[in-house]
Structure 1
């Protein structure tokens, strides 16, 4: 295999729920070469599970990654508070850092909207799982009308939210709201996030409300359907469950079910952001 034909060398930083599912998705990719799953605690369940699945593992976090040799892409699946340290360690290398934490740092990318821009950047931010589910739909709506108010409510099963996710809820809300404003050109945006302990665990759900004047229902419905189809290209379990449109209000509800890997179906929040991350890594490294 020539240098031009080799698969990009990638690593996952973080061995929580997101990191382990991400590693499995990378391993299934024919375009990426998973070199390492790095965590901080040698006794963590995630690192033990990664080793059992046959992946190379290491403790020491970002330090371990730097010691493994050249990497083309690193996926940060840790937490928002640690991400700036990870970028500081990698920014002077040739490695591209894809951030799955809700820091709001780096170039904000939503694959079905501006995924083609990813190759221009080495520091990429994927907003949040709720952002990846809602923003393509909201962006499509904003092409058909001028929203004056947008409200997004995400509900995930408690069992699908690890410690880092729970610690980062404030950043999740702020980063998701900021990205929605940017992609829809709407100032008045409200984002809410719920973790549901219900049994059986509910699927990942996102409810969106858009207020605007002079809405034309038919074009709006067509645009929503097209946005959903784009998302299903990398997250097959994405579906629109309800759409209500009148002259001044649009209500959209979506669900995301995980359809592959070891994670349960209710963990669609993990499935959508990890699917977006792998797709971007594949596209990014080919383009570069």
Structure 2
């Protein structure tokens, strides 16, 4: 790949983070003999700084460069700080989309109508939040986004139902889970036993606690006959170590296994007892 091929670099980033993007013409300037073209890249609905060039190809490369720099800066900021859960206005829809960008998860809105009433609900990745209704489409979207905001805020800040299980019992269960994960860390898949489904456990825990998991492919390396896959797991902005496997499933299993022990530290007693 050309070191300056930012279009290709942006495509790679988009694929790894499961995002959507497109390019838009932003007009031209100057007389025909010295005309300049302007193009902007739009990623998950957000437009980045325009790229300007004497040819459309040059403008597109610059637009891709600006978008990639912006995305990398946003990712770095999200990694260095916790996800912002407090906003200074009532635009919950904008907050929800901003939240999705920070944790690299797609925000999906499902809308329907019942007579003169509008209904809406949001999904963050695969996690579905409650329905809301309104007399207008905008009102329904805002109410649905508000419900998602409140649910996410309660989950991350720990406003969960109190438990009757003693703190010692919880600590013992966490220790046990941690020891099991430590002992199985270097185990390889064998044909004579069923490998624990770490992916399923992580997804189930995240579903129960309204956390948002995202497996990100970091790279593929090695010759075609011995291809290796590298994945890492990101949960609510928390990045866990990348793991290598001979298949996508194996790499994801290892990434999930590494994250499981730390993930269990944030569980309430009811979920710990379930596992």
- Structure 2-normalised TM-score? 0.28
- Structure 1-normalised TM-score? 0.27
Which protein has greater RCO, CA pairs closer than 8 Å, 6+ apart?
1
If you compute each CA radius of gyration, which structure gives the higher value, 1 or 2?
A: 2
